[in-house]
Every structure is written in structure tokens, then in C-alpha cells.
Amino acid sequence: MELSILEYPAIGFVLRWIHIFAGVTWIGLLYYFNFVQGEYFKEADGGAKSDAIQKLVPRALWWFRWGAMFTFLSGLGLLYFYKLTGFGILVGAVLGTIMFLNVWLIIWPNQKTVIASAKQVAGGGDPIDGAAAALGKAGLASRTNTLFSIPMLFFMASSRHLPGIQDAFASVSMVAKIAVFGLILLLALNGIKGKTGPITSVNGVIHMGLLLTLVLYLMIEFL
């Protein structure tokens, strides 16, 4: 039997609560990694950095990846139960899904290699082969997630308030669909095998995230 939000409003409330709580945890730690920890690691001495990688980073990554998991699962529940079809909410959902996949398929596996290598070196051994490359892959995916998080939050929050964004997916022009999802796809692919470019710095990723938000909105509004 198919559940209905109208018949069971508590389901919708619980899903929204989980989505917000898990999302705050996930995105908060994403910004911590990119805006705080990464900048600290640039200035920390080797011993302090190694200690943080072995003891602090694994704890933060646990909350980070499970925050992403519960945000994603509760988001799927909301899409299913509410039958959401607004273009803006779907754009936000696509961005969030890519970010979720980056966490579990790129960031976490590569960070495990970095953590294991730091522990091995601390024990007197040699670094694990490929640890430096793993750090680079995790860093690029994390920067890409930070870039995507700004328009993702914008479209999720404004999906019922801005013209064009609240329109149903079917009513949006094919040109707008191709432009929006094509740009997102290109940036997602760059996050897998590309370069950080202008999103290398904290200021850069914030500015580019705001620019991406504006570009996507204008595509929806005018194409």
C-alpha cells in the first residue's frame, strides 16, 4: 500500500527534520574541511599535521560521510512522498546527489589511503604509494562539492519562491534543461579528473559558487 503524506503528515515532518539535521552536519563539516582545516594544514608543522590526520580527520570524516548518507536518503524520501516536480528542487537534488556520490566514491576512499599512509609513516614506515595522488583526488572532489553546495542550497531554499525555479520540469524549455544539466555534468567530470583552477583558494571557490548559482538561475529564467 502506498503511503500518503496527507494521511501520515508525521512522516513528512520526520523526513524534513532528518534532512535538515543531517544536511547541517554534512555541509558544516564540508565547510570546516575546506575553509578551516585545509588552511590550517598549509601552516602546520609536519608533526601536528600528521597527528591531526591520524586522530582528528577520521572522526570528522565519520560524521561527514554519514551526514551525507542520511541527507541523501531523507531527500529521496521527500522527493518520493511529496512527488516533487519543480525544476529548481530537481536541480538542487541533482547537485546534492553528485555531492553524495563524491563523498562515498571519491573523498572517503582516497582519504582512507591518506590516513593509512600517515599512520604508517608515524610508525616508522614509508608512505603508501599513491597517497599523494589520493590526497589530490580527495581535495578536488571536496572543492567541487563546496562549489556545488552554494547553488544546491540556493535552489533547495528558493524552489517555491522564485519564478521559473518553481515551474514543473516538463514546462521548462529543452534548451534550459540541456544548458543547466550540461554545465553541471562538465563540472562534475572536472571534479573526477580535472584541476581545481579558480576554486583552489577559499575565496575562489566561494566566488565561483556564487557565480555558478547566478549562471544556473539565469539559464532557467531566460533560456
Cβ(156)–Cβ(110) below 8 Å: no
Query: Residue 147 pLDDT > 50, yes or no?
Result: yes
- Angle (CA) 26-32-33 rounded to 5° is 90
* Alpha-helical regions (H) of 44-107: 46-51, 57-82, 87-102
Find, among 98, 88, 111, the residue nearest to 168 by Cα: 88
Query: Residue 5 pLDDT > 60, yes or no?
Result: no
- Where is average pLDDT lowest: 17-21, 25-29, 52-56, 119-123? 119-123
Cβ(74)–Cβ(17) below 8 Å: no
Distance of alpha carbon 97 from its chain centroid, rounded? 8
Structure-block grid coordinates of residue 64: 561527514
pLDDT in tens, 67-117: 999 999 999 998 888 777 788 889 999 999 999 999 999 999 999 999 999
Task: Annotate 109-151 with DSSP letters as a single string.
Answer: HHHHHHHHHHHHHHTT-PPPTTHHHHHHHHHHHHHHHHHHHHH
pTM to 2 decimals?
Answer: 0.92
**Would you say the C-alpha torsion 27, 131, 184, 89 has a positive or negative sign?**
negative
Which percentage of the chain shows pLDDT scores above 70?
95
- Angle (CA) 139-145-149 rounded to 5° is 150
pLDDT in tens, 163-209: 667 667 778 889 989 999 999 999 999 999 999 999 999 999 999 99
Amino acid present at 62: W
Question: Across residues 54-73, what is the average pLDDT?
Answer: 96
- Per-residue pLDDT, 124: 81
